[in-house]
Amino acid sequence: MNKKNNKFLSFSFAIREIMDDFRSDPKQYDLFAKVYSFLVGGKAVPGEEKCPPMGIRYGGIWYRPENLKERRFYNWHEFDDLLTQAFSLRSLSGEDIVKLYKMVFGVNAFIGNGPEEKVGIWVETEMERFKCIQCGHCCLNLYDSYCTTAHEEDLIRWEEEGRWDILGYIDGGDLWISPKTGEDVTRCPWLRKLPRTEKYSCRIHDTKPRHCKDYPKSKKHALRTGCKGFG
């Protein structure tokens, strides 16, 4: 059995991961409603509302403060500011942060000592259960799976390696842009289907982007983007 893949986070970094999760996918309306209610009290529920001036319907939450009947709608564009304000106004205990982290990421976490006896939270990431089965899903669905901007380290490495074939598919740091049309490609140009199988391989595996190496970032990221590596 694989050894558990645990990671230690300071309380402040755990909060940052929670914030970043909603920044990467703010349209987690039901989850945001639970988190926001936990932080500020009152009652928040997912919903939608027609917003002026063009009458477009936006998803978000309806929120009613404690002891008030009137409620207000916040669309998903406002979630980052709401969370930033909520975290700044409330003093959270370590147990509060653990509860929030478990709520957002769906994994076990607990308070403990880390490096230099610093108190924070230990997270059981469950990433030891992940195994790439070469299904090609992440490469066939690029924009659902990971950020499509190259890291500077990738660009420098490809220049040093003389990989102008790879750099030809990059425009302003964005991956992957067709050099013929100037448009986003619909699938990774370096993906190759293995003959007589349902598996795929990467033609630039040894020098692929950091985004690809880091995918999936977490169990939640894998499940949210349709990765089959958790069975």
119-160: per-residue pLDDT in tens? 999 999 999 999 999 999 988 887 655 567 788 999 999 999
The per-residue pLDDT for range 118-130, each reduced to its tens digit, is 999 999 999 999 9
Return the sign of the alpha-carbon dihedral for residues 135, 141, 145, 151. positive
Tell me the per-residue pLDDT of 154-199, one tens digit each, with 9 for 90 and over: 999 999 999 999 999 998 888 888 899 988 888 899 999 999 999 9
Of 34-38, 69-73, 144-148, give the lowest mean pLDDT range: 144-148
DSSP string, 130-160: -------HHHHSHHHHS--B--HHHHHHHHH
Distance CA 201, CA 211 (A): 16
Mean pLDDT of the chain: 91
